[in-house]
Amino acid sequence: MTRRVSLTQYLVEQQREHGRIPGQLRLLIEVVARACKRIAISVNKGALGDVLGSANTENVQGEVQKKLDIIANEVLIEANEWGGALAAMASEEMDSIHVIPNRYPQGEYLLLFDPLDGSSNIDVNVSIGTIFSVLRKVGHHHGVSEEDFLQSGKAQAAAGYCIYGPQTTLVLTVGDGVAMFTLDREQGSWVLTGENLQIPADTKEFAINMSNKRHWAAPVTRYIDECLEGKDGPRGKDFNMRWVASMVADVHRILTRGGVFMYPWDKREPDKPGKLRLMYEANPMAFIVEQAGGAATNGLQRIMELQPSKLHERVSVVLGSKNEVERVTAYHRDAA
């Protein structure tokens, strides 16, 4: 009989045999996974659960919140408040950090999340997800502030995402490769369905919102134009394009079969470095992608080496198959 490994067993083995994760981190990851299970249930109910549509409120980034953005945020906060592993949490949907209330024990970790990624896909029944990043609270000072969160992606203790698609899948790294778990709905448990995932270094597939083409910087246009020229162009091969508009889904495809994902800076809002958020979108995805042998840059620098200056900081993102990311990055360096 093939061995069926649960998330709990995987984490216990990481803790015991590999010494990779302390008990508090193990508990924390299990709680996040449990919260994702609850979010998955709401996502599945759709119209039957009255979870579709807009909440008619705006988040700190000026984006209109969907009902599920708020539900997912609440589920994650509630699930993670009392466990004792955390000092504070931060979310795309909250202006400032959420410190663990005094009635609960304080832990040594900080949790950041994009509770619901790909909000524009909720109402049209296309894959969406949850992204999370775990940092350690450094230093022994009392209390916790936003400053404590401003650490580079290299400092992440764990990162992951859950994709609510045809299957509900959790992808996780604790810095020892990337593992994948599929939710068994009958059993209510996460089952290990992939280990040491590797992104092929080369690809013939790119993901970018082409409708922004006229706003791009020259190196991005150069790269995409060369892809579009296909066999007859300098690349000498035909490329395929995919754009789900849920970062989680686009990254999941790349993790499964390779590809390059880009959400670059563009001229529409020249003062913003990009659309995606560094601390709870780009950093966790960069950690996962690098752990799977891929690369992630902002066009010039490795994403995980960027020093954040604020919680909701934005960043330009190029990630996925290593050789393609290096090519896009080289085009940016040429131009600079």
Report the alpha-carbon distance of residue 20 to residue 8 in Å, rounded. Answer: 14
Stretch that binds Mn ion, among 18-26, 106-114, 155-163, 312-320 (CB under 5 A): 106-114
Name the residue nearer to ligand AHG (CB basis): 107 or 284: 284
d(CA 208, CA 223): 11
Residue 247 or 279 with smaller CB distance to ligand AHG:
247
Q: How far apart are CA 213 and CA 147, in angstroms?
A: 36
Q: How far is the CB of 231 from Mn ion (least distance, A)?
A: 35
Give the single-character DSSP code of 336: -
Measured over the CA atoms of residue 14, residue 16, residue 21 and residue 23, the dihedral's sign is positive
Q: How far is the CB of 27 from ligand AHG (least distance, A)?
A: 26
CB 100 within 8 A of CB 109: no
> For ligand AHG, which is the closer residue by CB, 132 or 263?
263
- Residues that bind ligand AHG in the complex, under the rule CB under 6 A: 63, 92, 114, 117-120, 209, 245-247, 263, 275
Query: What one-character-per-residue DSSP string does 62-117 give?
Result: SPEEEHHHHHHHHHHHHHHHSSSSEEEEEETT-SS-EEPPTTS---SEEEEEEEEE
Nearer to Mn ion, 116 or 292 (CB): 116
Segment 115 to 134, residues that bind Mn ion, using CB under 5 A:
116-117
Residue among 114, 205, 250, 290 that touches Mn ion (CB under 5 A): 114
Q: Which stretch binds Mn ion (CB under 5 A): 60-68, 91-99, 208-216, 237-245?
A: 91-99
User: What is the rounded distance in angstroms from the CA atom of residue 44 to the CA atom of residue 29?
Assistant: 22
> Which residues of this chain interact with Mn ion, rule CB under 5 A?
92, 114, 116-117
